Chains A and B, each alone.
Chain A
Amino acid sequence: RKEVEQDPGPFNVPEGATVAFNCTYSNSASQSFFWYRQDCRKEPKLLMSVYSSGNEDGRFTAQLNRASQYISLLIRDSKLSDSATYLCVVNTGGGGNKLTFGTGTQLKVEL
């Protein structure tokens, strides 16, 4: 089983739609969780952290379910500019930053 698993997509959605991505992780000792965004042929950039209580940043909501070992990202009112690959990232490094990336889920927002 992979350490971090994501549905690769692509998810093709119309502008204004709500879309959700899930990600599962295998190491129950994982300490922290993140979503990164990667535009085509660009480097990954941190989108948001994922907290146990859930967190929201504008149109983006991230949630964590430790019991089921999955995290989710919800994007409301999708914009064309949201088209990108969303990488689920899990920190399994104890006190340090050992970040394991998922394969990524590709989102295409269309007119």
Chain B
Amino acid sequence: EAGVAQSPRYKIIEKRQSVAFWCNPISGHATLYWYQQILGQGPKLLIQFQNNGVVDDSQLPKDRFSAERLKGVDSTLKIQPAKLEDSAVYLCASSLRQQNTGELFFGEGSRLTVL
């Protein structure tokens, strides 16, 4: 079974530029998450989708970050304009359903460096 796919793996941009990350979850997984992991910290939830609806985006900096999952399958996370503090790994994860199981399947992440 294919895992969670993310691209690009690495991205270097200058501050104030924009960037977009793509995620394709495991087939059939209804719930999709975007996490931000800054070096030395644990993953921080940015946004959670159930199918194509947003369940939780309370920690998403909405002035610069946006995310969509239009058809309830793959998802895009965009940052515009980027700041130095956005340098992090952006992890996409999926789970079979919005259930209290705790098992998320993560992609390898997209590592962003903002100069």
Does B56 make an interface contact (CB < 8 A)? yes
Is there an interface contact between B95 and A97, defined as CB atoms closer than 8 Å?
Answer: yes
Cβ distance B50 to chain A, nearest Cβ, rounded Å: 8
> Given A97-B95, A98-B48, are A43 and B106 also a contact pair (CB < 8 Å)?
yes
Closest to A45 in B: B106
Residues of B whose CB lies within 8 Å of any CB of A are 31, 35, 40-45, 48, 50, 55-56, 91, 95, 98-104, 106-109
Asked if residues A98 and B56 are in contact (CB atoms below 8 Å), the reply is: yes
The smallest C-beta distance from B34 to any residue of chain A, in angstroms, reads 13
Give the docked Cα–Cα distance between A49 and B103 (Å). 9
A103 at the interface (CB under 8 A from B): yes
Is A103 a contact of B40 with CB atoms below 8 Å?
yes
Q: Give CA–CA (A93, B31) in the complex, Å.
A: 14
A29 to B78, CA, bound (A): 33
Kindly identify which residue among A31, A32, A43 contacts B109, using a CB–CB cutoff of 8 Å: A43
Interface size in chain A (residues, C-beta < 8 A): 26
Check if B100 sits within 8 Å of A46, measured CB to CB: no
**A17 to B43 CA separation, bound complex (whole angstroms):** 29
Most buried by B among A33, A34, A44, A49: A44
Cα–Cα distance between A91 and B99 once the two chains are bound (Å): 10
Give min CB distance, A1 to chain B, whole Å. Answer: 15
Task: With CB as the reference atom, state the residue of chain A lying closest to B96.
Answer: A97
Contact B100 A31 (CB under 8 A): yes
Closest 6 CB pairs of A and B: A101-B42, A43-B106, A34-B102, A96-B98, A101-B43, A103-B42
Give the residues from 53 to 111 in chain A that come closer than 8 angstroms, CB to CB, to chain B: 87, 89, 91, 93, 95-104
* Distance in Å: Cβ of B49 to nearest Cβ of chain A: 12
Cβ–Cβ contact A42 & B108, under 8 A: yes
Max chain A Cβ within 10 angstroms of own Cβ: one of B40, B50, B104: B104
Q: Are A96's CB and B40's CB within 8 A? A: no
A23 CB, min distance to chain B CBs, angstroms: 11
